[in-house]
Amino acid sequence: MFAQLSTLLLVLLVLGYVNMKLIRELGALSIYLKLPKFFISFILLGLGTSLPDTFIAATAASRGQLPLVIGAIIGANIIVLCLVLGVVTIVKGNFQVREKTILENVGWIFFVIMIPFFLLVDGRLTFLEGIVLLVVYLMYVYNVKEQESFHKKVGGIQLELGSAAPKMSFYRHGKERSIAKAVVYLGIIVIAADIIVTQATDISRMLGIPEMMVGFGVVALGITVPELMLNLNALKQKEEEVIWGDIIGSFITELTFVLGIAALFNVGDKAFDFSQALVGYGFMAISFLLVFFFTYNKKRLTRSEGVALILLYIVSLSLVFDLTMFKGS
C-alpha cells in the first residue's frame, strides 16, 4: 500500500509541474494571438488549471469510477475557496475585490451549485446531463466575454504566467515550439491521469475507504497545487482581479465542464451512492456563502478571515472523513 500511495503522490507532483508548464505555453500563445485579459483570468486559468481534473475525470468515469470524480471535484472546489484563497489572503493581508466581480458572478455560482446537485441526487449521471453541463459552461464563458466587452477592458495581458512577453524570435518560430511543447505536456497529463486513477482505486480497495473519499482528500489536494502557485505568482504581480477570475472560473469549470466530460465518458450510466457526497457538497456551498459574506460588505478579505477559511477546510476534511467511515462501518 505504501508503494501505491508514494506513486500517487509522486505522479500528482509531476502532474502539477507539467500543468504549470502547459499553462505557460498556452499563455505565450495567448499573447501571440492578442487574446483579451478575460481569456487569461477566466478561461485559460480557470480551464487550464482544471485540465488534469478533466483527464482524471474522463479516465475514471470510463472505468465506472464516477464517485472518485465527484469526490475530487467537490474537494478541489472547497480547497480553491478555502485553502488557496485563505493562503493568498494571509500572504496579502487585505485582499481587495471589485463589487462588480461579486455581483456579476454570485448568481452564476448559485446557479452552478444547484444544477449538478439536482442532476446527481438520483445517483446517476447520464450522457444527456453531461451535454447540459457543457452547455451551462459555454453560457458562462459567453457571459464572461460580454462582461469584459461591457466594461471595455483593454486586451493587454498583465499576468505573465512565468513567461515574458514574446520577442520577435517568438513570432518567427516560437509559436510552433510552444504548440509542440503543449502537445507533449498534454500527452504526459493523459498518462499521469491514468496512473492516478489506477493508484487511487488500489488505495481505496486496500484501505476499505470509498473512492469518493480518496478523490475528496488526496486527489483533490494534488490537482489544486498548480492553482495555488499561479495565484501566488499573480499576487506578486499585483493582479488581484486575475486571482478572483481564476478562483471563480475554476469553481464553475469544475462543476460544469469537468463534471460534464465525466458524464460523457460514464459508460453504462453506472449508479453511485450520492449520499456519500452530501456532506462535502454542503461544505462546498457553505464555503462559497462564507466567502460571499466576507467580501460583499467590505469588498475585501482580511488575514483573520483567511485563517477562518483554512480552518473550515480542515473541519470539512475531518468531518467528511469521519462521517464516510462511520457510514461505511
**DSSP string covering 68-88:** HHHHHHHHHHHIIIIIIHHHH
Q: What is the mean pLDDT of residues 225-242?
A: 77
* pLDDT band for position 314 (cuts 50, 70, 90): very high
Mean pLDDT of 45-63: 82
Q: What is the mean pLDDT of the chain?
A: 79
How high is the pLDDT of residue 33?
64
Spell out the residues 6+ positions from residue 287 whose beta carbon is closer than 8 angstroms to its own. 77, 78, 81, 82, 309, 312, 313, 316
How big is the chain by its Cα radius of gyration, in Å? Answer: 19
Q: What is the pLDDT of residue 119?
A: 92
Query: What confidence score (pLDDT) does residue 326 get?
Result: 61
Beta bridge partners, 300, equal 96
What average pLDDT does this structure show over 22-39? 65
**Predicted TM-score (pTM) of this structure:** 0.84
For residues 48-69, give the mean pLDDT: 86
Per residue in 127-180, pLDDT (tens digit) is: 999 999 999 999 888 877 776 654 443 334 344 444 444 444 444 456 677 778
The C-alpha atoms of residue 177 and residue 174 are separated, in whole angstroms, by 5
Mean pLDDT of the region 201-226: 84
Q: List CB contacts of 212: < 8 A, sequence separation 6 or more.
A: 67, 68, 70, 71, 272, 276, 277, 280, 324
Q: How far apart are CA 280 and CA 25, in angstroms?
A: 34
Output the nine-digit C-alpha cell for 39.
Answer: 481569456
pLDDT at residue number 83? 92
pLDDT band at 247 (very low <50, low <70, confident <90, very high): confident
Could you tell me which CATH number the domain at 2-328 has? 1.20.1420.30
Cell of 22: 502547459
Among 38-47, 105-114, 155-164, the minimum mean pLDDT is found in 155-164
Pick from 236, 223, 99: which is nearest to 159 by CA? 236
| Range list of H helices, 51-209 | 51-62, 66-78, 85-92, 99-120, 127-151, 168-169, 175-207
Give me the mean pLDDT over the 68-76 stretch. 92
**Is residue 242 very low, low, confident or very high in pLDDT (cuts 50, 70, 90)?**
confident
Under the banding of pLDDT at 50, 70 and 90, the label for residue 37 is low
Q: In Å, what is the CA distance from 97 to each residue of 16, 260, 295, 299?
A: 27, 30, 7, 5
Q: Please tell me the predicted confidence (pLDDT) of residue 9.
A: 81
Q: What pLDDT does residue 96 have? A: 82
Q: Cα separation of 73 and 87, whole Å?
A: 20
Cβ neighbours around 171 below 10 Å, total: 10
- What percentage of the chain's residues is helix, strand, coil (to nearest 5)? 85, 0, 15
Q: Looking at residue 190, what is its pLDDT?
A: 82
* Residues 281 and 255: beta-carbon distance below 8 Å: no
